Amino acid sequence: MSITYGALGGLVVEVVVFYGRIATWQAARHQALTSNKRRKQLPRLGKYVDPASDALAALTRVSLGAGAGLLFAPQLTGALATVAVGASAPALLRQFGSARSLQAVIGGAVPQAVAPAVLAPAGGEDAVGMPSGTEVLEQ
């Protein structure tokens, strides 16, 4: 059920985004109708909606919502909470990923992509900003 509710949350966000695009198109059409009497100048829907990329974005958001619903299921106590987690899945998962990599750096494990820059910064200092060769004593 958590997967379904999470996916539903992602779908709700996509519907709101799609509505925003349609409302922008509608406003542009109304603006064009009031500024000129010729209907040849009306903006096309294709200028505001791209079916292929919008469908792929919707599928991705629904999948992220389902994944977040599954991942956070033990912490959630209700359908509405799971829908909310699914709706905010990209931000939650981005934050979750950042927190894990930060914990790894604090815990002493340095990710490979960061290791050269952290271990050998310019100026002859080590990772904690001390001159090379300086020992740091822990209490």
Average pLDDT (70-75) is 91
Neighbours of 81 (CB within 10 A): 16
pLDDT band at 98 (very low <50, low <70, confident <90, very high): confident
Lowest mean pLDDT among 49-63, 76-90, 100-114, 115-129: 115-129
Residue 8: closest CA among 78, 57, 79, 72: 79
Q: Output the pLDDT for position 116.
A: 45
Whose structure tokens read 């939650």? 92
Higher-confidence position of 99 and 129? 99
Average pLDDT (40-45) is 83
Angle subtended at Cα 76 by Cα 70 and Cα 80, rounded to the nearest 5 degrees: 95
